Amino acid sequence: MNPILYRLATGAIAPFIPALLASRARKGKEDPARLGERLGRASVARPDGTLIWLHGASVGETLSMLPLARRLKAERPEATLLVTSGTATSAALLAERLPKGAIHQYLPVDTPGAAGRFLDHWRPDLVVFVESELWPNLLLGAKARGARLALVSARITEHSARGWKRFGGLARRLLGAFDLILPQDSLSAGRLKAIGGRVDGYANLKLTGAALAYDEAELAALKAAAGDRKVVLAASTHPHEELLINSAVEVGGREPLLVIVPRHPVRGPALAETLRASGRRLAQRSAGEPLTPETEIYLADTLGELGLFFALADLVVMGGGFYPDIGGHNPLEPARQGRPVIYGDYVFNWTDVYMTLGAGGVRCETEEDLIAAIDRLLDNDEARLLMGRCALAAAQVEDGVLDRVWAQLEPLLP
């Protein structure tokens, strides 16, 4: 497939897109009030002057690019920063955390009409895509209109690389349009080269950033409610992981407070019902149920409060890595608050990051490993605090990433 065939194919399906988006909105998968944005119809005017367009697909990508967004706004305060994402959850997070003056829009579907409307309205001078999304109509259209293109913190899996090889002409044309390509690691670099890209250096934005913010008064209230108990935080968990971690905490013979922050808060009500069936006393934060000295599990099924619970925790069990289908989540978020990190055996999306973590984390291949790790760290304050210091040191190793990225992006700006 070449760009012309891709454009024809996506143009052919364009008439069906509005009905598809409406159906997704009815299922809660789209924001019904902003469906026009998904069709390239902007909901706000474009300010005059230079415009930088920064895109990340979902929650993980948008969180990783926030430090870059702040740096771009700080370095070029006169420029407009347009940030796009594709999910309602990421939009909610960005609404709270984007730098002042930045504009959020949903990414339009990659049909010729939607892409054209979007680009004609926003007229970006610099386009920065983060991680793995590559949309030919949008990117090649921006290039044709004179924008400079950068692919930063690029990640491409072996599966994705095989898929792009089937469309080699399109991949080469698309990757050749970028003025700057900075993959996360050597594996992604090799795959990008294999499908026609080049490598201008390395940058993993997931290794950057400050500790997540939280409300000091709320933290003090939660600490008072938890009392003298140690706090085990199960962070960014997925189905089945909550029961696994809950069982490990119980079997260990301790009586800590278990706080669970599911990766997707919408699972909260069903998860609460499942955990209550285990017989332990549970309070659900989204339902306004208070944390009390009798609470054994505190289900923090709210959005944007992970920093608060990292600060509350004595140790963190990172979700996403105990079963083979997710690939892990970012361990540097708890590490930046000096918390030791326990994680599962399936963290293939974050291999280099977990290697950076080193002595600040414990990898658990079995449930018995998980029980032993939780028990040891609850029992040994010195070991727990030492691991936390190692985790914090590991998180500070990559402080120079943003400097390197900015040095390579600056020449692409007007």
Residue 324 CB contacts under 8 Å (≥ 6 apart), including other chains? 346
Q: Dihedral sign, CA of 319, 325, 327, 329?
A: negative
Identified catalytic residue from 61, 133, 242, 333? 61
Q: Environment class of residue 293 by beta-carbon count within 10 Å: exposed (0-12), middle (13-18) or buried (19+)?
A: exposed
Query: Over the Cα atoms of the chain, what is R_g?
Result: 22
Contacts by residues 156-159 (CB-CB < 8 Å, ≥ 24 positions apart) = 156/132, 156/183, 156/188, 156/191, 156/192, 157/132, 157/191, 158/191
Q: What is the C-alpha to C-alpha distance for residues 29 and 69, in angstroms, rounded to an integer?
A: 26
**Nearest 5°: phi and psi at 246?**
-60, -45
Beta bridge partners of 282: 297
Give me the amino acid identity at 353: V
Beta bridge partners of 130: 152
Q: What is the C-alpha to C-alpha distance for residues 383 and 165, in angstroms, rounded to an integer?
A: 48
Which helix (H) or strand (E) element contains residue 237?
strand 231-237
CB 190 within 8 A of CB 257: no
Tokens found for residue 403? 């400097």
Tokens found for residue 337? 């608050």
DSSP state of 264: S
61 is catalytic: yes
DSSP state of 151: E
Give the residue numbers marked as catalytic. 61
